[in-house]
Each structure stands twice: as structure tokens, then as C-alpha cells.
Amino acid sequence: MRKKITVVGAGQVGTTVAQLVAYKNLGNVVLIDIIEGVPQGKALDLQQSGCLQVFDSIVVGTNDYKDTADSDIVVITAGVPRKPGQDRADLLNINAKIVKDVTEKIMAHSKDPIIIVVSNPLDAMVYLAKEVSGLSRNHVIGMAGVLDSARFRTFVALELNCSLVDVDAMVLGGHGDSMVPMPRYTTVSGISITDLMSVEQIERLVERTRKGGAEIVGLLKNGSAFLAPGASVVKMVEAILRDKRRILPCTAHLDGEYGWKDIFFGVPVELGAHGIDKIIELKLTPDEQKAIDKSAADVKKTIEEVNAFLKN
């Protein structure tokens, strides 16, 4: 039986996720949105590309959560995107209501799905989804580290004029300005970039990575990134559905790892059929731990706001 992947939100990120999931033949796709006609139209358009892209997945567009029943994976992209000059935290109150409502409706029709949250502010929204869903911590995951690492990889490859394929990068922490790109764990064919670049070059690329989403928002003027975020989600979905046991940076629930508890935070995890199989703790220098602690403290503040929201 084919796996069932529900994508909540038929905007640009959600549509990209649905398209790539179908193109990779990962399973049947349900695209759901509150706007009548939009998910249906996009789903039909995508289905009609099946004979051209050679996929057999069935793609359904709907406004009814009954159609999401028994989903194996649910990707939550619903919410208001950032505008120029707007911080992710500014979105919290708006998107918290949306993510809470979506999660409740998903859980009413699916018993034990794996939920991947994309909505911003990411760290707060994935925490909210776990609290509302009641799912185990290995079944609720945030998409951030894969995207942030992809941006860092891209900037490194462009700087060194080398193949993107040869670059591996690691970005930890919250999905925002206090994220922690890890130069020691970022390599080109196994060689750390600390041996290939000057300190000034690395600092410039680290800062550009931290501002990667805002850079695209500023260029687009109306909207935010969607192609790389969508591809990042599908990398996670594929690792889960095909039990690849990939080591990927994802936003996971910490229970003492890295010295923090009860927050969702970007860390390397092993991702397979059961969701997060384990969290990998890297050996950090004092400076790296300091940066991690600063980012975690920022995330903790947004989670406190979520807890206040849930009490109201």
C-alpha cells in the first residue's frame, strides 16, 4: 500500500512539497487549504504532469480534513509568510492560532502520523504542534536545519568555486538570527572549511547564512523562499518513508541534550521510518557551546510565549 502524505497549505512551499513528493513517487499526496478551488486546481494540474514526469502517485486537492485520514506524514506549511523587515517572532501570535487549529484537525483523522512543521517562527510552531497533538517527540519534527545547512553549503561552494556536491555543512540552533553555523563540521570532500578559508571569509558566509531567508524576502518584496524550503522538506520525507536513517540537522525536542530541556532546537538527528531515531550530540568547543546556549535562550523565550498562548 502506498504511503499517504498530507501537505497543509497550498501556497508556494506546500505546492513545491507536493510536486517533489509526487515526482519522487514517495506516496499519494493530499493537498489541503482553506481556500476553495486552489488545492483542487493545483492538485489536478500536478496530477496531469504524471505521465510526463512518470509518476504513479495519486494527488488530491481538498478543503476537508476527512480526506487527510490515516496520513503517514503530515507537512504543515500553513501560516502567514514573513514580509520585508518583519522578524519571525512577529508572526507568532498569528501563526500559533493557525497551527493549533490545523494540528487539532489532523489529529482528529490520523492516529499516529509523523508531523513535519515548516510554519514560522519554526521553533515555537513545532513545539506548539507537539503540545497540541500529544505525539511522542520522535514523531514531531521541524524543518530548519536542512534548509539552513543547504544555504551554508551553497555559499561555501560559490565562495570556493567548487561543486555543491562536494560540500557538506552543519547548522544548529534556532531557525533565526541566532542560528549556529558550524565551520568545523562544514567540509569540502572531507576537508574542513577552516583549512580552506580565512576567518574573515567564514564569518562573512556565516552571517549571510543567518540572514539567508531575509535576503530572499528582501529581493522578492512580496513573499518568501519556497523552492529550497520545499526541497528540504522532501529530503526529510524521503529519509522517513524509505527508512534511509539519514543524519540530518532537524528541529527536535531536547530532553537534556546539549544542556537544554523541553525546547525544540536544531540538532543533528538520525531520521528513519520511526521519525527521529536518535539525537546526536556533537563535541563542542567552549565558544560553540556559548553560541548554542545563546540560541537556545532565544528559543526558550518564544516557547514561553507559546505556553502563554496555550493557557489563554
Which CATH number fits the domain that encloses residue 306?
Answer: 3.90.110.10
Indicate the pTM of the whole model: 0.96
Rounded Cα gap, residues 238 and 271, in angstroms: 10
Catalytic member of 109, 139, 175, 253: 175
Q: Which of 125, 142, 159 is the last residue of a domain?
A: 142
Rounded Cα gap, residues 264 and 25, in angstroms: 30
Rounded Cα gap, residues 63 and 150, in angstroms: 33
290 C-beta neighbours (distance < 10 Å), count = 12
Note whether 70 and 138 are same-domain residues: yes
Query: Taking CA 22 as the corner, what is the angle to CA 20 and CA 27, rounded to the nearest 5 degrees?
Result: 125
Rounded Cα gap, residues 102 and 100, in angstroms: 6
CA distances for 54 relative to 12, 47, 234, 235, 310, angstroms: 22, 11, 18, 20, 45
Note whether 168 and 136 are same-domain residues: no
Note whether 218 and 249 are same-domain residues: yes
Q: Which of 142, 161, 193 is the last residue of a domain?
A: 142
Note whether 106 and 151 are same-domain residues: no
Tell me whether residue 175 is one of the annotated catalytic residues.
yes
Note whether 114 and 163 are same-domain residues: no
Counting the structural domains of the chain, the total is: 2
Note whether 290 and 158 are same-domain residues: yes
Note whether 102 and 247 are same-domain residues: no
Q: pLDDT digit of tens for each residue in the chain (312 aa)? A: 899 999 999 999 999 999 999 999 999 999 999 999 999 999 999 999 999 999 999 999 999 999 999 999 999 999 987 666 656 566 788 899 999 999 999 999 999 999 999 999 999 999 999 999 999 999 999 999 999 999 999 999 999 999 999 999 999 999 988 999 999 999 999 999 999 999 999 999 999 999 999 999 999 988 889 999 999 999 999 999 999 999 999 999 999 999 999 999 999 999 999 999 999 999 999 999 999 999 999 999 999 999 999 988
- Asked if the bond preceding 121 is cis, omega within 30° of 0, the reply is yes
The boundaries of the domain holding residue 201 are 145-311
Note whether 160 and 211 are same-domain residues: yes
Instruction: Indicate left, alpha or beta for 3 from its phi (over 0: left) and psi (-120 to 50: alpha).
Output: beta
- DSSP code at position 256: S
Amino acid identity of residue 98, one-letter, is I
Which residues are within 8 A (CB) of 190 and not within 5 positions of it... i.e. 6 or more apart? none
